[in-house]
Amino acid sequence: MSIKQISVFLENRPGMLKEMTSVLAAHKIDMRALSIAETKDFGIARLVVDDAYQAINILKESSFVANLTPVLAVAVPDEPGGLDNLLGIFSDAQVNIEYMYAFIGGKEAKHAYLIFRVADTKAAEARLASKGLRLMTQEDIANI
Q: Does 99 have pLDDT greater than 90?
A: yes
Are the beta carbons of 89 and 40 closer than 8 angstroms? no
The pLDDT assigned to 1 comes to 80
**Same domain, yes or no: 48 and 97:** no
Does the structure show a pLDDT above 80 at 105? no
Q: Would you say 113 and 86 are in contact if contact means Cβ atoms under 8 Å apart?
A: no
Residues linked to residue 36 through DSSP beta bridges, in sequence order: 45
81, 66: one domain = no
Q: Which residues contact 57 (CB under 8 A, 6 or more apart)?
A: none
Task: Provide the domain count of the chain.
Answer: 2
Domain region containing 130: 71-142
> Residue 143 pLDDT more than 70?
yes
Integer angstrom CA distances of residue 113 from 20, 29, 33, 132: 23, 19, 9, 17
Q: What is the mean pLDDT of the chain?
A: 92
Any idea what the CATH number is for the domain that residue 18 is in? 3.30.2130.10
Residue 107 has pLDDT above 80, yes or no: no
Question: Looking at residue 40, what is its pLDDT?
Answer: 81
Last residue of a domain, one of 21, 38, 70: 70
Q: How far apart are the first and last CA of the chain?
A: 16
132 plus 89 within the same structural domain? yes
Which of 70, 100, 123 lies at the terminal end of a domain, its last residue? Answer: 70
Tell me the sheet residues that pair with 111. Answer: 77
* Most confidently predicted of 20-34, 101-115, 124-138: 20-34
Q: How many CA atoms lie within 13 A of 38 on its CB side?
A: 9
Q: Same domain, yes or no, for 64 and 80?
A: no
Q: How confident is the model at residue 132 (pLDDT cuts 50, 70, 90)?
A: confident
Same domain, 58 and 112: no
Query: pLDDT tens digits for 75-86?
Result: 888 889 989 999
Q: Are residues 42 and 13 in the same domain?
A: yes
pLDDT value for 106: 64
Q: How much is the pTM? A: 0.88
Question: In 3D, which of 25, 20, 24 has the Cα closest to residue 9?
Answer: 20
Q: Are residues 75 and 65 located together in one domain of the fold?
A: no
The reply to whether 104 and 42 lie within a common domain is no
